[in-house]
Chain A
């Protein structure tokens, strides 16, 4: 079973629209971390946010916001007033301890196309 599920394979929006990328995770650990990464067309992976399992406060950073809900095991990412530069593949990831290492599990990614 997938530990991280990003059900939306591809989303297309028009510039200035708001868009939410869904992420559902699965873990038995009480301590874990959730991440979002951006992969623009150039191919590099860019860290966006890290959230630990004890902090369910929503976070806002500029046009980006994240909604963490343990009750539904979801960590959704919203981009407000999207821009063409937001076009990228976005990955959600889960980190949990296995032995003395925190293993990372990535979702399959959501490709966001923002059209002018």
Chain B
């Protein structure tokens, strides 16, 4: 049971380049989400998914796309990277037990856009 995995751990992009941040979980969780963490701002929700084929926008979705073709994978795509997207990105998977819910986070991807 690997939990939530993210790749790559670190990436440098030039402005305008595209890339996909990978996220996978092996806990069969329906709910997954992407956050970005910037200094002094805590975590902000980018996109989330309540199951395969279903995604929705969070607080800061602009510049990012997501898809959820399987329960396990939830990739985050940057179509045209901008310096403002320099951040640490966390993927999370939600465990729902009855009415209780807990998030488990991946190790993060540190992205630098030049």
Q: Report which A residues bind B (CB closer than 8 A).
A: 4, 9, 31, 33, 35, 37, 43-45, 47, 50, 52, 91, 93, 95, 99-104, 106-109
How many chain-B residues does the 8 Å CB contact rule pick out?
Answer: 26
Check B48–A101 contact: CB distance below 8 A: yes
Q: Which of A9, A93, A102 contacts B94 (CB 8 A)?
A: A102
Quick one: given A43-B88, A43-B108, are A102 and B42 in contact (CB under 8 Å)?
A: no
Interchain Cβ contacts under 8 Å between A and B, 29 examples: A4-B42, A33-B101, A35-B103, A37-B105, A43-B88, A43-B107, A43-B108, A44-B105, A45-B108, A47-B102, A47-B103, A50-B101, A95-B101, A101-B31, A101-B48, A101-B50, A101-B56, A102-B94, A102-B101, A103-B45, A103-B48, A104-B33, A104-B43, A104-B45, A104-B92, A106-B35, A106-B43, A108-B40, A109-B42
Binding site for A on B (CB under 8 A): 31, 33, 35, 40-45, 48, 50, 56, 58, 88, 90, 92, 94, 99-105, 107-108
Known: A43-B88, A101-B31, A101-B48. A33 touches B105 (CB 8 A): no
Q: Are A44 and B43 closer than 8 Å at their CB atoms?
A: no
Residues from chain A with Cβ under 8 Å of B31 in the complex: 101-102
Q: B42, B48, B101: which contacts A108 (Cβ < 8 A)?
A: B42
CB proximity of A2 to chain B, nearest CB, Å: 9
Q: Separation in Å of the B53 CB from the closest CB of chain A?
A: 14
| B44 CB → nearest A CB, Å | 8
Measured CB to CB, the closest approach of chain A to B8, in angstroms, equals: 14
| A95 CA to B103 CA, complexed, in Å | 10
Report A-chain residues with C-beta under 8 Å of the C-beta of B88: 43
Say whether A50 contacts B102, CB under 8 Å. Answer: yes
Instruction: Please provide the 9 A-B residue pairs with the shortest distance between their CB atoms, ordered closest to farther.
Output: A106-B42, A45-B105, A106-B43, A108-B42, A102-B101, A44-B107, A101-B50, A50-B102, A107-B42
Task: Return chain B residues, CB-CB under 8 Å to A102.
Answer: 31, 94, 101
- For residue B91, give the distance in angstroms from its CB to the closest CB of chain A: 11
Q: Which residues of A contact B40 (CB under 8 A)?
A: 9, 108
